[in-house]
Amino acid sequence: MNRAQSELTELSLAQAGELIANRILSPVELVEACLARAEAVNPTINAFIEIYHDQARAVARAAETQIQAGHWLGPLHGIPLGLKDNIGLRGQITTAGSKVMGDWVPSRDATVAGHLRRHGAIFLGKTNMHEFAWGGTSDNPHFGPVRNPWDPERFPAGSSGGSGAAVAARACTAAVGTDTGGSVRLPSAVNGIVGLRPTLGRVSNFGVVPLAWSMDTVGPMARTVEDCALLFNAMAGHDPNDGGSLLQVVPDYTGDLQRGVKGLRIGVVPRYFFHHLQPPVHDAVKAALGTFEGLGAQVVEVDIENIHGNISAQLTIESTEPSAYHQQWLRERPQDYGEDVRTQLEMGEMLLATHYIQAQRYRTLLRREFMEAFKSVDVFICPTLPFTATRVGEMKVIIENGEEEDMLSAIMQFTGVPSLTGLPSLNVPCSYDQDGLPVGMQIIGRPFDETTLFRMGAAFQAATDFHQRAPKP
């Protein structure tokens, strides 16, 4: 890849969109640069299952013609995106990272893909992922593991690991992932990018292969908060095809990006947010809170009485619902699943109905406690996960005291809370550890208040430069 192309892949979505709108940059140039970058890095990081070389080039040429004719569709027009491979695209194989669905070709776009298409976005390819999104490592037995561009011996987290790695590696300008228990936020954190889990029901799940119906969401992933907000403008909205989709006005999510955070109240739950962390994560999030205080926000200690117990509730719901979806395949072709997903699906069949109902009642309790707390704070901030990227293939992690813990329950220590409560949450990169691995903080907001999350993240990125660093080429 030549120097000019490397400059193009460094452009944010907002920057590229403006250059395209002013006809200074052609979508053809941008797509070629991203394709070259994707070809260069994919043998190492394995972020893409499939790259749409010919189609992306053809759509870029069409976009160029449209824009030159004055038919500009908006800031996403001509922008190359990665799409997680559980999001259906009309006429394209959608695998969900699996062998079971390996030859599924949807007859229509997922709703969110259709929205992005209508805004002129160009799909560069389908990103690799944890099989059926049921895991947090993106160590895929059928398509190979995704690797972290900051250190290819490390994992990219998951399940949207391919989207996270592709964005961090500059192989696409931005990407789309899905998040049930953390699958946008976790790879965003360990790849050093921004990722949003929206309010449950804010973005349509129609056409997306489900994991857990009562917690599934689709979210944007990009290098800056502004880019995420621009993507989200195109993704959000009611969909009559999705029974969980909610009728709620879609604001301009970029509207408050310059507003600053003076007077905003940041809630922290010290006995949960700052315990059981690797020291670099603890220090990074504490420092980030200091940054926000320097910008005029106020940190308020809050207690959420019943926050402990959320991991068990998360695992119960996130295991039983997929097990219901996979019942037929699990009986007809169990050997076609990877070992970890097969085990989890079998386990999900063996939890009791009363376990599931009690977990769903716990969700009501936890949400009520957070909604009560939102009377005195505007957002919560905590780590996104308690550790930085572990080595590819590891299923145990050491957080403190040298004790090994199960990866699945450890990884959702903080991401389970928004998943259970339906609240929106945004990962923003906030530091790097001693090995140069990214650390992310999670900003949790009120229902449908993604605007405030973006406002906070934008203020942080205006005051810091963590989001401007790039992995070594």
Partner 1 sequence: MTDQVALSVADIEVLARLAALPLPAGRPEAIREPLSVWVQDANELSRKMSRPEYWHLVPATVFQHPVV
**Would you name the residues annotated as active-site residues?**
84, 159, 183
Q: Considering only residues 118, 275, 361, 396, which one is a binding residue for partner 1 as defined by CB under 8 A?
A: 361
Q: How far is the CB of 352 from partner 1 (least distance, A)?
A: 8
Answer yes or no whether residue 330 interacts with partner 1 by CB under 8 A. Answer: yes
**Only segment of 8-16, 43-51, 290-298, 315-323 that touches partner 1 (CB under 8 A):** 315-323
80-84/122-127 β-pairing? parallel
Residues comprising the chain, all counted: 473
**Only segment of 51-59, 187-195, 278-286, 348-356 that touches partner 1 (CB under 8 A):** 348-356
Q: How far is the CB of 76 from partner 1 (least distance, A)?
A: 31
Answer yes or no whether residue 42 interacts with partner 1 by CB under 8 A. Answer: no
Answer yes or no whether residue 354 interacts with partner 1 by CB under 8 A. Answer: yes
Strand partners, 175: 82, 221
Query: Which residues 205-224 are close enough to bind partner 1 by CB under 8 A?
Result: 214
x-or-dash string of contact with partner 1, 408-437, rule CB under 8 A: --------------x---------------
Residue burial 293-331, b: 16+ Cβ < 10 Å; e: rest: eebebebeebebeebeebbebbbbbbbbbbbebbeebbe
Nearer of residues 67 and 397 to partner 1, judged by Cβ? 397
Q: How far is the CB of 87 from partner 1 (least distance, A)?
A: 24
Rounded distance between C-alpha atoms, residue 242 and residue 227, angstroms: 26
Q: Considering only residues 6, 298, 312, 464, which one is a binding residue for partner 1 as defined by CB under 8 A?
A: 312
Q: What is the DSSP letter of 190?
A: H
**91 CB-contact burial (10 Å; exposed 0-12 / middle 13-18 / buried 19+):** exposed
Answer yes or no whether residue 248 interacts with partner 1 by CB under 8 A. Answer: no
**Only segment of 140-148, 306-314, 424-432, 461-469 that touches partner 1 (CB under 8 A):** 306-314
Answer yes or no whether residue 324 interacts with partner 1 by CB under 8 A. Answer: no
CB atoms within 10 A of CB 1: 19
- 76 is written with which tokens? 């996403």
- In sequence order, what are the residues at sequence separation of 6 or more whose Cβ sits closer than 8 angstroms to the Cβ of residue 120? 63, 66, 72, 73, 74, 76, 77, 78, 79
Strands (E), 297-403: 298-301, 379-383, 396-398
Rounded distance between C-alpha atoms, residue 239 and residue 205, angstroms: 9
- How many chain residues bind partner 1 (CB under 8 A)? 35
Q: Which residues bind partner 1 (CB under 8 A)?
A: 214, 247, 306, 309, 311-313, 315-316, 319, 330-331, 334, 339, 343, 346-347, 349-352, 354-355, 357-365, 367, 406, 422
